[in-house]
Structure 1
Amino acid sequence: MRIGHLSFRLAGTDGVSLETAKIAQVFARHGHQNYYFAGELDPEDQADQLVAAPLAGQILVPEAHFTHPEALWITKHAFGTTQMHPQLQERIETLATKLEAAVVQFIGVFNLELLTIQNVFAIPLHLPLSLAVQRALQKTGIAAIAHHHDFYWEREAYRVNCVAHILETCFPPHLPNLRHMVINSQAQSALAGIGVHSMVLPNIFDFHEAAPGVDEYNADLRSELGLVDSDLFFLQPTRVIPRKGIELAIELVQRLDDLPIKLVISHHAEHNTLDYLNEMLALAARNHVDLRYLPARFKPQRVPGKGVHKVYSLWDAYVFADFVTYPSLYEGFGNALLETIFFSRPFLVNRYAIYQKDIEPLGLDAVVVEGKITDRTVAEVRTLLGSPTRVQRMVQHNLEVGRQHFSYETAWNRLYEILQTF
């Protein structure tokens, strides 16, 4: 089967891009061909070493990206106000028409038989693209799976708007050739409340593969980051946005101030969260925490230094991390959690809602907090840092949980079940 995957962006290390690449890998292992359509794509010769989508073809359409100037203008005037700008509807329609033609062309050029639509019907980052895909599905009748990672009604930024007519019909649309897939049971319940049936496919990882380790390329990672042998490497493997709860990681390190801990952030801040980054850097400085914001050193793929510093993959960071902090206040699921388990690293996790409902009952072994760092939290982390035997028991147990519940085999069973409904 020839399967297309479509989103605003299918590049880098954001959750949607990573999960889409994994789903493409699952399909490829069962003999299917994969094709990408997005406003941003990874260079074909720079695919991530662990989750590279095995692609038979791809189409880059810059106008499909949510940071395209026209998309930004539309989003700015659609949300935060109830007053419709005189040009808004016309500009939405103009771009939607152009993008609809591009989507139909994508389906036709590659003779696609199935389309997965990644978050385009869930978050109104790009209203014209969402309308375009909806109309392309109606026009072509192609079988499609809408994979929803989070929903607009979960975000404050979208509550005030002047485009209710679009949100009500397109997020998500009700079409006979469209099936719905969500990443957690909370989202499944939300869709059921508006009459939409969906299946849960949690975030996944290839737990039956061996994790990479130290090699010739990454052997100098610690020294390149300025860490000495006695330093403890705490990894915060998330973007710098408020819901990631990075202040809790800073507090944890501050309360372990007798230990030589370096807290490393591997992902970037968004264009609209630079204030939060500055707040975290200032908080760390006030509390004498050695916080290192190093997204320039970690990319989806390795980039050997050419006159400048070398760039490591995110996986290289996990290889050398002594402990992982994941104090998120909210997550749709938790990609970094699965990565941490795969790389056999001990971790701290905040009990965000989806963790409590969908993950915790499976029996993961972790340092768990509920929105604050307590004396018990600090003591648990200290014990782990001094007990390799305890850490080994923890990570082996978590690997077994991952293999049982979040593997590619689990994903294929769910996907196959959906395919049988067409």
Structure 2
Amino acid sequence: MIGRIGGVDGVALETEKWATVLRRLGHEVFILAGELEAEVPGSTVLPELAFSHPATLREQDDAFFVQDADEREFVDRLHRDADRIGHDVLAWLTSERIDVLITQNSTTLPCHLTMGMALKRVIELTGIPTIAHDHDFHWERGDRYATRYAGVRDIIEECFPPDLPNLTHVVINSYCRDSLRERHGIEAHVVPNVMDFDAGFGQPDDFNRRIPDELGFAPNDIVLFQMTRVVRRKGIETAIELVERLDDPRVKLVVTGHATDDYNGEYLGELHRRAARLPRPEQVRFAADRFANVRVAENGAPGKFSLSDGYAFAHACTYFSRYEGFGNAFVEALAAKVPIFVNNYEPVYWPDIGSKGFKTVQIENNELTDRAVEDARAVLTDADRRADIAEFNHEIGRRHFSYEVLGRRLDRLLAA
């Protein structure tokens, strides 16, 4: 169960991977979502679960952004809406004969209060065995979920996350495990984000061979890909700085992600202005209109390339994030056999990923040193070195972040 699926955000991507692995293990998988951003097998839409639903947007304004509602009336409305959603969720569980419920970040962030409230009630009422896949928690978001309403604070304390005997929590990194234990006394299992290392991810084919021409690359261009959404914490300005400091007209940076989560387009505007100040502004391409989570072929139109298509033509990837719950783009680069330039992002990179022994160009605190620039140049201009790094990282990634790893851990969770 998830608010939205079919898109490129980490929660949606991992949910689809879990569904794939569960099916490989022989389970039948049904998905209840508020919104489908692309076709997803086995899915049912319940619009009230969507983050973009008018009732959800109103609840968020009342609870966190505007906070000018009458508290008693507002909290009563939340409970009524939660009851209605809970009734619909219960009907879905019954009609699909669900044996185990898996929630995807639905009871961690209060970005949909009534969904979390409804889920707690349903899980408690039915006693259904439940796995809560917790990608990140509200206390990691600063004052985003601060509210003047005591009633809302009580809801957050009780439902985000809930602590129930039939509910097993799964987190994606050791920091979340430790903070969940310290704040709520809840023990959680760590299951990292994964990729299918046997799927031929990031391979050239007849469809994606059009990328160089369609994006205007010359045959000798050196292409960096930024495979993330456009949000401030991704540190995309550091990738633009790297292009400037490399001072090589062959180097191009392609930003594939959309900016729908960049409120008011402020950060995207800053990036466009930063790129425009380069001696060669054409070295940075914002190409969200040409990329999607999955390939889209349209009759008589250019269509869209997938993330896998983009990796197929990347000399390296930039990933200078300041903060991540895990780091899907890092694992994607491992699977695609593409070198990666990375910031030691909080709170996950070194404890859960970097310490595994990957070969990267790594910076600290988003400070692009002269040494890092020269190391990046050496990788980008030496094809043999890129190939060696990519193969080395691919094998370590397979050992720690593959579908096989996920399959073993899900088997243990479901057998418990």
For Structure 1 versus Structure 2, the TM-score category normalised by the shorter chain is over 0.9
Matched, 1:76 2:70: no
With normalisation by structure 1, the TM-score equals 0.93
User: Structure 1 residues 28, 238: CA separation in 2 closer, same or farther (over 3 Å shift)?
Assistant: same
**Distance in 2 of aligned mates of 1:225 and 1:391:** 23
1:130-168, Cα deviation, whole Å (9 max, x unpaired)? 111111111221110001101111112434212110110
- Secondary structure in 1 matching 2:272: helix
Deviation of 1:215 (Å): 1.5
Matches within 5 A, 1:8-157: 8-44=3-39, 55=41, 57-80=42-65, 85-86=70-71, 87-157=73-143
Residues 26 and 411, structure 1, Cα contact 8 Å, conserved in 2? yes
Counterpart-to-counterpart distance in 2, 1:95 and 1:225: 47
Distance in 2 (CA, whole Å) between partners of 1:72 and 1:297 is 29
C-alpha separation in 2, matches of 1:389 and 1:274: 40
Please point out which of 317, 323, 332 is paired with 1:339: 332
SS in 2 for 1:33: coil
Partner Cα distance (1:418, 1:287) in 2: 51
CA distance in 1, matches of 2:102, 2:177: 18
The match for 2:207 is 217
Offset at residue 212 of structure 1 (A): 4.9
What is the TM-score with the length of structure 2 in the denominator? 0.94
2:327 is the alignment partner of 1:355 = no
What CA distance in whole angstroms lies between the structure 2 residues aligned with 1:333 and 1:372?
A: 21
2:168·2:188 contact (CA, 8 Å) conserved in 1? yes
Residue type of the alignment partner of 1:186: Y
Deviation at 1:209, TM superposition (A): 3.2
Q: Any idea what the Cα deviations from partners look like across 1:214-237, whole Å, max 9, x if unmatched?
A: 222111111111212122211000
Q: Name the CA distance, whole Å, in 2 between partners of 1:400 and 1:352.
A: 23
Instruction: Tell me which residue corresponds to 1:263.
Output: 253
**AA matched with 2:8:** T
Residue 230 (structure 1) aligns with: 220
Q: Which moved more, 1:105-114 or 1:156-165?
A: 156-165
- The count of corresponding residues between Structure 1 and Structure 2 is 406
Q: 2: CA distance between counterparts of 1:224 and 1:83?
A: 50
CA distance in 2, matches of 1:35, 1:222: 39
1:295 aligns with: 288
Hey, what does 1:275 align to over in structure 2? 266
Q: Distance in 1 between matches of 2:323 and 2:264?
A: 16
Structure 2 SS opposite 1:235? strand
Task: Name the counterpart of 1:166.
Answer: 155
Return 5+ residue gaps in structure 1 as ranges.
1-5, 48-54
Q: 1:311 matched to which residue of 2?
A: 304
Q: 2:325 is paired with a residue of what secondary structure? A: coil
* Aligned residue number for residue 183 of structure 1: 172
Contact 1:80 1:160 in 2 (8 A): no
Contact 1:245 / 1:328 at 8 angstroms: preserved in 2?
yes
Q: Provide the secondary structure at the position in 2 that maps to 1:79.
A: helix
Match of 1:50 in 2: none
Please state how far the C-alpha of 1:364 moved relative to its aligned partner: 0.6
Determine the structure 2 residue equivalent to 1:51. Answer: none
* AA matched with 1:260: R
Cα–Cα, structure 1 residues 189 and 171, in superposed 2: closer, same or farther, change >3 Å?
Answer: same
The amino acid across from 2:116 in the alignment is S
Residue 351 (structure 1) shift: 0.2
Amino acid at match of 2:250: P
Residue deviations 1:267-315, cap 9 Å, x none?
A: 1012515100000110111123422211111112222244433211111
Residues 94-115 of structure 1 show CA distances to partners (whole Å, capped at 9, x for unaligned) of: 3212211111011111100011
2:237 to 233, 240, 247: 247
Distance in 1, Cα, partners of 2:22 & 2:264: 35
In 1: Cα distance, 2:412 partner to 2:203 partner:
35
In the TM superposition, what whole-angstrom CA distance separates every residue of 1:65-84 from its partner, at most 9, and x where no partner exists?
Answer: 11111101111111157775
Structure 2 unaligned regions, length at least 5: none
User: 1:74, 1:91 within 8 Å by CA — same for their partners in 2?
Assistant: no
CA distance in 2, matches of 1:327, 1:273: 22
Q: What amino acid is aligned across from residue 69 of structure 1 in structure 2?
A: P
Q: Deviations over 1:167-188 (max 9, x none)?
A: 1000110111100000000000
Output the CA distance in 1 between the equivalents of 2:146 and 2:7.
Answer: 30
> Residue 11 of structure 2 aligns to a residue in which SS?
helix
**SS of structure 1 residue aligned to 2:362:** strand
| Contact 2:4-2:37 at 8 Å conserved across structures | no
